[in-house]
Amino acid sequence: MQIKIFSIPIHGGEAINEEMNAFLRSKKVLQMEQQLISDRHGAVWSFCIKYVEDYSPFNKSKEKVDYKQVLDEASFERFSQLRVIRKRVSQEEAVPAYAIFTDEELAELAKTEQLTAVSMKKVKGIGEKKVEKYGQHFITKSSDEKS
């Protein structure tokens, strides 16, 4: 177990705050204590973080899937088109592509010829909120291509 301390000024501490958030995302945090400290020079939040080194939140041992081999030709073509849409939406929303739909979710969507909100919700990992937030990009595109 290791310890890291961050002191973030109440005013103007945005950069240190971002540094702490990046640190927290990369470590397995065991315990965190916080305290507001103020004196005549101002106030700071002090964070004492107990963590474990060598922690990755992502499963790196997972094998990469070649969807060209897994999907039939028509489904792979739809999969490729869905990836293009996902990339565009990802850039517009400034979020990672996998946060919209994972490749596995896109592959399942690609197996469906006509995407609807109902068919999208049947895919494992895609719920009401994802369909509400991103579904229109994929449903609209699919129906536009048919016209």
42 and 74 part of one domain: no
- How far is Cα of residue 23 from the mean position of the Cα atoms in its chain? 17
pTM over 0.85: no
> What is the structure's pLDDT at 145?
46
139 and 90 part of one domain: yes
Nearest Cα neighbor of 96 from 87, 109, 85, 105 is: 87
136 and 72 part of one domain: yes
Nearest Cα neighbor of 119 from 65, 84, 82 is: 82
79 and 114 part of one domain: yes
Number of alpha helices (DSSP H) and beta strands (DSSP E) in the chain: 7, 3
**Quick one: residue 94, left, alpha or beta (phi over 0 = left, psi -120 to 50 = alpha)?**
left
Measured CA to CA in angstroms, residue 133 lies from 115, 125, 130, 138 at distances of 15, 14, 5, 11
Gyration radius of the chain over CA positions: 22
CATH of the domain at 118: 1.10.150.80
Q: What is the pLDDT of residues 59-83, one digit of tens each?
A: 455 668 888 888 899 999 999 999 9
15 and 48 part of one domain: yes
46 and 86 part of one domain: no
In a domain, 59, yes or no: no
Range of the domain at 37: 2-52
Domain count, the chain: 2
82 and 136 part of one domain: yes
Which residue matches tokens 């305290």?
35
Which residues, in sequence order, are CB contacts of 71 under 8 Å at separation 6+?
Answer: 79, 107, 110, 111
* pLDDT band (50, 70, 90) for residue 54: low
* pLDDT band (50, 70, 90) for residue 57: low
Q: What is the pLDDT of residues 89-132, one digit of tens each?
A: 999 989 999 999 999 999 999 998 888 999 999 999 999 999 99
